[in-house]
Structure 1
Amino acid sequence: MSSSDAAVVDAGGDPPKKHSKQSKGKDTRITKDSASVEDRLALLEDILSKVGERYTEMADTFNSFNDDVRSMEESVATAMATFRGELEKLQGNITRRDEERTSLIEELVTRVDEVEDLKTRETILEKAGVKRGEITYLAAIREVSDEDLEEEGPPAVIDAVLGEFKDVMP
């Protein structure tokens, strides 16, 4: 009910008594004031009711927003934990692959060195005239210093052979 809808209403319930002209105006004014206060109270109650409804709607909206934010926060935390787990797996795989790569490189270098050695040996044998399937004699030469000869004498077997051929060999 708005203030423009307010009507003059008798608050007492009985029709006002008509006395003199002076008292008649006073009673009417009191009745108008009373009606105006009642209308104002009704209007204020109506406004308070609407404000209460509005507050309830706003509180519900805010609580819904908070629930959505909490839900989103939990979803983000879960997604971050999952992502962190995937990153840790990836890091482990990269580390393992790096170790495998290092091992493969070392093995490859070893194999290349072996191939280089084989190529070198094959080249030496080809230059010496060695062919596959033929009899080949292999000898090893060792450099001996004078000290080695003085300390060690010839082996006993060689001494015996040299002794037999002493008259033929100087």
Structure 2
Amino acid sequence: MMWPSIALLTFVTAQRLAELVIARRNTMALLAKGACEIAPDHYPYIVALHTAWLIGLWVLATGQPIQLFWFGLFMLLQVLRLWVLATLGERWTTRIIILPGAPLIEGGPYRFFKHPNYMIVTAEIATLPLAFGMPFYALVFSLLNAAMLTIRIRAENAALKSAMILK
């Protein structure tokens, strides 16, 4: 039966595309308020990584049975993802955007973790392939994502520190 895998992959694809639209809108609004983008050079690689992850899932996971434990965990991560987006509101973007003078967000999941969005994305990159019974795929993309996040989190922390809003 192919429709469950197609439905799940369609959901994730639509979600990611909608998030790109929201992120672009928020980025433009922040830049209009005087914000600046930090370390944009790695951004195309992040987009390429996530695109390859999703395309690969479409190619390899379509028609695969869905393992309910991993599916349930993935759906829980979607709730947490929405919590992050709601907490950041107009400040949420897929780029590193610093708005001078704006306070650091400390509510929602940011009360508990410094980078909850990256934690969720890391878990998603592993969990969705595992839901399709693809542990090697999950491992490969998790390692690639870890390398990318090492660069990104360093750049983001440096940007926040230089803006004197990192505690």
Calculate the TM-score normalised by the size of structure 1: 0.19
Calculate the TM-score normalised by the size of structure 2: 0.20
Higher relative contact order (CA 8 A, sep 6+): 2
Larger Rg: 1
